[in-house]
Structure 1
């Protein structure tokens, strides 16, 4: 098949018109066509052209070559160019490492995990860490040792972490003092557990605790494995389009491909050049795929100075703006709103900022206009960049180029390199043309291998042709900029965090008084959405709104709490198939 070439758009239409003029007349002007051409440079005849798919869009930025590098190899491949430059700094404490030191610690961590903790390639390590420099040491050290990493939100409850780490069969946990009780409690339920790594703490061999500093200082020796780029290296947990959180199997190739895809010259600030010495201030967590691959790894690869905070406070964030004078900010919409409206943030604090990258959820043109007004800058002086992605796509699939028309603000951008998309009609399932909304489906080398130990969910999300069904409703315009307009999936987005209604519902259903329950997201000016529960009680049973709220608050982390309230109904609206009619509940939720 080496002689098969895929052509799309105008060129495909010209070839079709030349060879199949009658067939070409049947194709609507708004439709996107693809053709495969054999022996393109030879005489074209009726056997050389075949229409493959209509209304399938491809990236305007061409193709990448995925390569065979592991993620750690790729991230640190150009380190010799900036060995002495600052790598990652904790904005709260000032603790910092340069690139040379970071690379050495990664290597020593890998040898300690393989040689001292006796962890074998393919085994899982769980990370419970905020945004601190040692996050880089541990996650890339683990991957260098051939291990598979799963990270958890440090604010998760014991039940939430236990469920994830047990499902993933974690053999070791790395954390800080604040979360040591959580790690130790969870470790009791993990089979074949090999030890807890304490960042900032000392060894306690009787309890199976290893201080990270002592592991690195000991300079353990080990024969590190040869890792294949197709090996799974990361299993973050996502609810996907519905249901309880599931392990997303991402390979080295998935993650490296996505880094290459977002470093297409026209997308980048410096058109692909590295080592410009930019200073990046970021808050989105590294334990989220956006924070890990699209922020942390992306900026390490470029040799930039990454400043982050383990916990957001207005005081610390403003201090970082003043002290480090960042050129780039990575934010979520709620943080952009903070920068725009909080009186503590002054225009002089933002004078060095040249670009703002918004992820996890879309922002609006009006919010950007207000931010520009706060900065007293024009759209030429400060760039707002947006993107779209999922944990299942490593994560980026859509992104605005660094220079793009002002009338496209609010768009999620265009397809990144080597990525295809189609928008499917929600009723008939056919691929739609421009300006018509439907379910967004994506295909590319960044799409996950599948869900861990869940073939059924994998088949429901990735079809036989390799299309990832996002569950998001979108449309694209005539310039192939995409706009996310709604969600078919059940997930609730709270300040960019995914909240599974099923997870909250299962906690409430554990109560003996409850006969039925449904949770939906309702609009909130600050969080975007917040969860609201609709509860049906069993006959002659009672629960108060506060009791239901407290039940969830005891079991789940804060952003999953029922800030939208609790309402009691006689029955949950369901369709003939028994599925909850969540749209009806959302309307009901807005009225109360």
Structure 2
């Protein structure tokens, strides 16, 4: 089995008298103090960019006929490759097939579930569905059938697009879903008795359905995120949210491919972050397609395959997560020659320390541009990013505000808006912010307030030049190699064991993974339980990165506040004491 970013908010959406901008074109040095205006609202120093009101797929592929012969996507393992003309033709054929194929014809706004690793066919699977007016959710192909079914049931998936090796998982979901229509199998053939449709056969058939008009405010994708707390939830991102984030990233200070000197320039880009993750999807795949670069990826990370891609394709740009950067910087098999073509690196999903960046540059044997950013699934994902060229003295920054984006730092004690160099929770607002969580008004209201501010759950500050720094988390989310892990999900699994009275899961620091999940368990009176039983119980039910690699600790009680909420900072202190 495979392993593995609208002009500033329209005035009609701005609550009258709620805020006054804090200009950051040169520096942040003063506030507008007119009565009735909210203080300390930080605006992007880059001003607004134009955001077209378009379907995401139309936006990405507009005028692609001009670059029809340019390579678009290649699989570094199988060497399958498609140019822009072929990729767009496949996408349009897929859209028509999904709407008209007898036995599985989909209706506008129904949900498609994509269960695929990084392969070139991900694009027609995704964008064909979107062009047909459908909604797409995607799952990690390494998830257990239980995890996949839970997500697909919540999203009400009617059709799954997958591979032959994953067909049994799709069939498990089919047996549970009441309104399931069929499965599209990339690399497989029609099996009409099982409502399985071969991808290549579908594209070769003559489907003539007219493609629907798509409202840019319609939901396009449903990635799943734990937000700041709780179980994973479907994040409703509209076509406009996703187009906005791509357009925001087109500012020439942020993206060199929109600079005059790079007009018409095509680079080879090597990536490994999965397309089923919002960073891999809208932060890499869609960005690369829109900038007409040649994107190379592999279905699963095998060091030898990745190194071979470095040698064979000689990429100038790498998209990485910190764990991959650590591998490249420290593994003895990675030589300076492997990285000799690399000119720039974009780090996403989690922050790369300055020490790690220095190690990577030492391995390269030359200066390499390293860009970092900050985002969430709930913001499509990018809200902060370091510019294409910036002051390297800004050690530890995750960047400046994207165009058309606002921020404020809110005091954790009194809720007031804070000024430069004061630490509080980061709130963000902009056209890339989600519509809300699917069928979950309570969770939406806890994360997205009535004035449109996204409460990130991250503790941050900004300096006098508008560079932001993340210093801590208020949220419960554990990040393992950039992947989100919900403590609640793991706690619910552990509570299935009859010997367990109470449990809390929290992340512990790890150099390679960033964090690892650790369980703190309270047993019922007179009960005994081996930690291995707990570890194995979880291991059988979740993907590898969610497993209890941080171990299990038995404690007398779980620290909670008066409302019963777990005090996770006290868990960290307790864990440190027990480790000693």
Q: Is the 8 A contact 1:169 1:191 kept in 2?
A: no
1:333–1:326 distance in 2 versus 1, CA, 3 Å: same
TM-score by length of 1: 0.92
Determine if the alignment matches structure 1 residue 567 to structure 2 residue 553.
yes
Please give the alpha-carbon distance, in whole angstroms, between the structure 2 residues aligned to 1:9 and 1:160.
44
In the TM superposition, 1:33-48 aligns within 5 A as: 33-34=31-32
Determine if the alignment matches structure 1 residue 500 to structure 2 residue 486.
yes
Q: Deviations over 1:446-488 (max 9, x none)?
A: 0000000001110100111110000001111111100111110
1:369–1:50 distance in 2 versus 1, CA, 3 Å: same
| Partner residue, 1:318 | 307
Deviation at 1:391, TM superposition (A): 0.2
Please give the alpha-carbon distance, in whole angstroms, between the structure 2 residues aligned to 1:10 and 1:241.
29
| Partner residue, 2:495 | 509
Please give the alpha-carbon distance, in whole angstroms, between the structure 2 residues aligned to 1:584 and 1:168.
35
1:415–1:358 distance in 2 versus 1, CA, 3 Å: same
Please give the alpha-carbon distance, in whole angstroms, between the structure 1 residues aligned to 2:408 and 2:314.
41
Determine if the alignment matches structure 1 residue 183 to structure 2 residue 173.
no
- Match of 2:417, SS state, is coil
Please give the alpha-carbon distance, in whole angstroms, between the structure 2 residues aligned to 1:65 and 1:387.
21
Determine if the alignment matches structure 1 residue 385 to structure 2 residue 371.
yes
What is the Cα-based RMSD across aligned positions, in Å? Answer: 1.9
Structure 2 residue corresponding to 1:172, chosen from 141, 147, 159: 159
Q: Is the 8 A contact 1:12 1:33 kept in 2?
A: no
Q: Deviations over 1:239-280 (max 9, x none)?
A: 000000000000000000000111101111244455311100
Please give the alpha-carbon distance, in whole angstroms, between the structure 1 residues aligned to 2:343 and 2:479.
28
Determine if the alignment matches structure 1 residue 196 to structure 2 residue 183.
yes
Q: Is the 8 A contact 1:86 1:98 kept in 2?
A: yes
Determine if the alignment matches structure 1 residue 301 to structure 2 residue 286.
no
Q: Deviations over 1:258-315 (max 9, x none)?
A: 0011110111124445531110000000000000001000010011000001000110
- Match of 1:161, SS state, is helix
What stretches of structure 2 of length at least 5 have no aligned partner? 1-10
| Partner residue, 2:4 | none
| Partner residue, 1:435 | 421
In the TM superposition, 1:114-193 aligns within 5 A as: 114-116=99-101, 117-193=104-180
| Partner residue, 1:481 | 467
Which fold has the larger relative contact order, with Cα–Cα distance below 8 Å and residues 6 or more apart in sequence? 2
Deviation at 1:51, TM superposition (A): 5.5
| Partner residue, 1:24 | none
Determine if the alignment matches structure 1 residue 101 to structure 2 residue 83.
no
| Partner residue, 2:38 | 53
Deviation at 1:66, TM superposition (A): 2.1
In the TM superposition, 1:222-237 aligns within 5 A as: 222-237=209-224
Please give the alpha-carbon distance, in whole angstroms, between the structure 2 residues aligned to 1:239 and 1:394.
15
Deviation at 1:30, TM superposition (A): 6.9
Q: Is the 8 A contact 1:519 1:531 kept in 2?
A: yes
| Partner residue, 1:278 | 267
Please give the alpha-carbon distance, in whole angstroms, between the structure 2 residues aligned to 1:50 and 1:63.
26
Structure 1 residue corresponding to 2:71, chosen from 86, 98, 104: 86
1:420–1:113 distance in 2 versus 1, CA, 3 Å: same
In the TM superposition, 1:227-376 aligns within 5 A as: 227-272=214-259, 273-376=262-365
Deviation at 1:409, TM superposition (A): 3.6
Determine if the alignment matches structure 1 residue 211 to structure 2 residue 198.
yes
The structure that has the greater radius of gyration is 1
| Partner residue, 1:42 | none
Please give the alpha-carbon distance, in whole angstroms, between the structure 1 residues aligned to 2:47 and 2:495.
50
| Partner residue, 1:454 | 440
- Match of 1:142, SS state, is helix
Q: Is the 8 A contact 1:12 1:34 kept in 2?
A: no
- Match of 2:345, SS state, is strand
Please give the alpha-carbon distance, in whole angstroms, between the structure 2 residues aligned to 1:12 and 1:478.
11
Please give the alpha-carbon distance, in whole angstroms, between the structure 2 residues aligned to 1:89 and 1:411.
33
Deviation at 1:32, TM superposition (A): 5.1
1:259–1:499 distance in 2 versus 1, CA, 3 Å: same
Q: Is the 8 A contact 1:31 1:433 kept in 2?
A: no
Q: Deviations over 1:429-460 (max 9, x none)?
A: 11111111110000000000000000111010
| Partner residue, 1:406 | 392
Please give the alpha-carbon distance, in whole angstroms, between the structure 2 residues aligned to 1:32 and 1:245.
40
1:537–1:407 distance in 2 versus 1, CA, 3 Å: same
Which 10-residue stretch deviates more, 273-282 or 257-266?
Answer: 273-282
Determine if the alignment matches structure 1 residue 426 to structure 2 residue 412.
yes
Please give the alpha-carbon distance, in whole angstroms, between the structure 2 residues aligned to 1:376 and 1:148.
46
Q: Deviations over 1:90-134 (max 9, x none)?
A: 011101111000000000000000011310000000000000000
- Match of 1:465, SS state, is coil
- Match of 2:418, SS state, is coil
Q: Is the 8 A contact 1:32 1:54 kept in 2?
A: no
What stretches of structure 1 of length at least 5 have no aligned partner? 14-28, 36-48
Q: Is the 8 A contact 1:33 1:53 kept in 2?
A: no
- Match of 2:193, SS state, is helix
Q: Deviations over 1:312-353 (max 9, x none)?
A: 011000000000000100000000000100111110111111
1:271–1:32 distance in 2 versus 1, CA, 3 Å: farther
TM-score by length of 2: 0.94
Q: Is the 8 A contact 1:358 1:387 kept in 2?
A: yes
Please give the alpha-carbon distance, in whole angstroms, between the structure 2 residues aligned to 1:373 and 1:12.
34
